[in-house]
Chain A
Amino acid sequence: MYGNDFGPPDEGVDQVKDPDRDTAHADAAAAALGEGLLGEVAAAEAALAEAAGRTVGRAAADADEAALQAYFDAVIAADQKIEPRDWMPEKYRRTLIRQIAQHAHSEIIGMQPEGNWISRAPSLQRKAILLAKVQDEAGHGLYLYAAAETLGITREELVEMLVSGRQKYSSIFNYPTLTWADVGAVGWLVDGAAIVNQVPLCRCSYGPYARAMIRVCKEESFHQRQGYEVLHVLGHGTPGQRAMAQDAVDRWWYPSLAMFGPPDADSTHSAQSMAWKIKRFSNDELRQRFVDMCVDQARSLNLTLPDPDLRWNAQRRAYDYTQPDYDELMRVISGDGPCNRQRMAFRRQAHADGAWVREAAAAYAAKRASDREAVPA
């Protein structure tokens, strides 16, 4: 997901019907194959591939709910994967639908702040990179909706929940991209925060989500490096370019820190999500990891992070930093950020404007289907 900052859970998604299947067991103790976040992604992928080769018989195939629950608990405890046909607690299913859908919505809404600069990108190479990135985001949205659909909900229902405002997307996309440097800052900070958040999801207990995250993380890492490179050129460019880059980092730093969600003490769903191994680290742990990662990078960008209290704490072996304004986060989540209205209006307009096209495609497909039936065998 783009962040942990989503609003309260929505209720009322359907029951999963078929709890039957064989289980593929993952190897819980996959060794780290590489260093850094991409190394973790590669390790998670290897563990998944290995799991696909194994089949462990499940206990009591048609057993009662207690036995199903016991089996589910055992799979989670063994760090193995729950797959779409497995029985799962209703709350687990609903939590995942909410989280995956909101992640998907974030990819779709996230096309807007960056798409805003496609027409004005300052070189053809940058324009090409930005177009490719926005295309990737649509792709991420698509595979995340597909992962959510394995939980027994349709993409149409999810899209409806987005345009009706019942489900949220990451608060970060309610901030405007005011200059070209914002495209770099979004890549470096927003995608950077997203990766720190998403890499642990490559090991999340729900198989389809974990697999989607592996693909997403590889592409996001690429975007993050491209954003870093945009800022690097600006940070070492003309005085005007450097000022533009610093201004962008000043505006995006705290909203990026807020992407990790409220502090652990205030995070309502964390304990359950950790127990289910949907989440692997707390909001504050991930936020700290992100800060530690950014400090050195900012230095090589020739830019500063806008926090006078940022300093190395030798005891904790981590940076002390100023927390983001969580009241602002709550205002943005509840709809009063700078661009909430604009982003939703854009999405609703595109959805409404496309209705006649979707109807035409359906009518055309129906005609072709009836043509085929009319052909004698």
Chain B
Amino acid sequence: MSRPGLFDYLLALGDDALVTAQRLGEWYASSPAMEEDIALANIALDQLGAARLLLSYAAEVPDTALPARTGGPLPVAARPLDEDALAYRRDDRQFRNALLTELPHGDFAHVVTRLLLLAAYQVPLYDRLAAADDPRLAAIAAKTRKEVAYHLDHAATWVRRLGDGTAESHGRAQAAVDALWPYTHELFAPLAGGPIDPATLRADWERTVTAVLAEATLARPADGWAPGGGRDGLHTEHLSYLLAEMQSLHRAHPGARW
């Protein structure tokens, strides 16, 4: 199966999952309770698993030169392609994750709010992809949708607890929602090469998120500023630091096996 743009599409989804896993992995042993250390590691592991499946598939799609607008073709060192070449030997201009996933973590409210906003998008996305014509993508989606449903449930539970907890937690949760909201618009921007128009996921997402916010006694922010560019490899200043750390060891030993 090789539609034009399929490679880019798989990278976009895979990079969302990979960068999310990387950010959650930074949170190890830092949770408010042991149970939450387990839960966040579990979610990071699920996202990393999805990233590996998507990037492995991308690596098998032929004619995989990245278009010039996303930083040019992959360097020769990145071939032959596999999940590690794609994760460790692309530069930030070649990553296609949404900006939402790469923002650094603030407090715990920020962690769970971002997870809510992302998982509420990934649930309808993978539900729909599970019925896609592309059998490989459908199989990946069928596995992933079960996991992201759990992520959504877990994040929603925490957003309710924080929003409707104490005055302090309410304030922190509202601040996190306000800070992250602008970055959600990018999730629904057109994305070529996939079987689904992301714009069609918006109604489901909006329904899920606004219901959780209402239960959490949190205000839905007004739509306005809508930063984007991640799908074209135009990121925030945060991503290259994330990649510098993630890729440092791998790049220091070219050709090594791990």
Residues of A within 8 A of B (CB): 108, 111-112, 115, 118-128, 131-132, 134-135, 138-139, 141-142, 145, 180, 233, 237-238, 240-241, 346-347, 349-350, 353-361, 363-364, 367
Closest to B52 in A: A124
Q: Is the CB of A233 within 8 A of B257?
A: yes
A363 to B35 Cα, complex, angstroms: 18
Q: How far is the CB of B33 from chain A (nearest CB, A)?
A: 7
Sample (26) of A-B pairs whose CB atoms are under 8 Å apart: A108-B34, A111-B29, A115-B29, A119-B25, A119-B245, A120-B248, A124-B51, A124-B84, A127-B25, A131-B41, A131-B44, A132-B45, A134-B28, A135-B37, A138-B29, A240-B253, A240-B256, A350-B29, A353-B32, A354-B33, A354-B108, A355-B32, A356-B168, A360-B162, A361-B165, A364-B160
Q: Kindly state whether residue B219 has any CB partner on chain A within 8 Å.
A: no
Q: Kindly state whether residue B48 has any CB partner on chain A within 8 Å.
A: yes
Q: How far is the CB of B49 from chain A (nearest CB, A)?
A: 7
Residues 18-38 of B at the A interface (beta carbon under 8 Å): 18, 21-22, 25-26, 28-35, 37-38
Q: Is the CB of B250 within 8 A of A135?
A: no
With contact pairs A120-B249, A122-B250, A237-B257 given, residues A359 and B44 touching in the complex (Cβ less than 8 Å): no
Q: How far is the CB of A189 from chain B (nearest CB, A)?
A: 19
A193 to B122 Cα, complex, angstroms: 42
Q: Indicate with 1 or 0, residue by residue over B38-71, a CB within 8 angstroms of chain A CB atoms.
A: 1001101100110110010000000000000000
Residues in chain B near residue A132, CB distance under 8 A = 41, 45
Q: Kindly state whether residue B197 has any CB partner on chain A within 8 Å.
A: no
Q: Indicate with 1 or 0, residue by residue over B221-258, a CB within 8 angstroms of chain A CB atoms.
A: 00000000000000000000000011011100101111
Given A122-B258, A123-B88, A240-B256, 20 additional A-B pairs, CB 8 A: A108-B29, A119-B22, A119-B25, A122-B250, A122-B253, A123-B250, A124-B55, A128-B48, A132-B45, A134-B41, A135-B42, A138-B34, A145-B34, A233-B257, A233-B258, A240-B253, A241-B256, A357-B32, A360-B166, A363-B166
Please count how many residues in chain B sit with their CB below 8 Å of the partner chain's CB atoms: 49
Q: Is the CB of A118 within 8 A of B25?
A: yes
Q: Is the CB of B246 within 8 A of A364?
A: no
Residues in chain B near residue A139, CB distance under 8 A = 38
Q: How far is the CB of A314 from chain B (nearest CB, A)?
A: 39
A132 to B40 Cα, complex, angstroms: 11
Q: Is the CB of A241 within 8 A of B166?
A: no
Q: Kindly state whether residue B127 has any CB partner on chain A within 8 Å.
A: no
Residues 103-142 of B at the A interface (beta carbon under 8 Å): 107-108
Q: Kindly state whether residue B6 has any CB partner on chain A within 8 Å.
A: no
With contact pairs A142-B35, A360-B162 given, residues A123 and B84 touching in the complex (Cβ less than 8 Å): yes
Q: Is the CB of B22 within 8 A of A112?
A: no
Closest to B161 in A: A364
A356 to B162 Cα, complex, angstroms: 9
A120 to B251 Cα, complex, angstroms: 11
Q: Is the CB of A358 within 8 A of B41?
A: no
Q: Kindly state whether residue B172 has any CB partner on chain A within 8 Å.
A: yes
Q: How far is the CB of A174 from chain B (nearest CB, A)?
A: 15
Q: How far is the CB of B222 from chain A (nearest CB, A)?
A: 26
Q: Kindly state whether residue B169 has any CB partner on chain A within 8 Å.
A: yes
Q: Kindly state whether residue B87 has any CB partner on chain A within 8 Å.
A: yes
A373 to B256 Cα, complex, angstroms: 63
Residues 148-171 of B at the A interface (beta carbon under 8 Å): 160-162, 164-166, 168-169
Q: Is the CB of A142 within 8 A of B34?
A: yes
Q: Indicate with 1 or 0, residue by residue over B66-108, a CB within 8 angstroms of chain A CB atoms.
A: 0000000000000000011001100000000000000000011
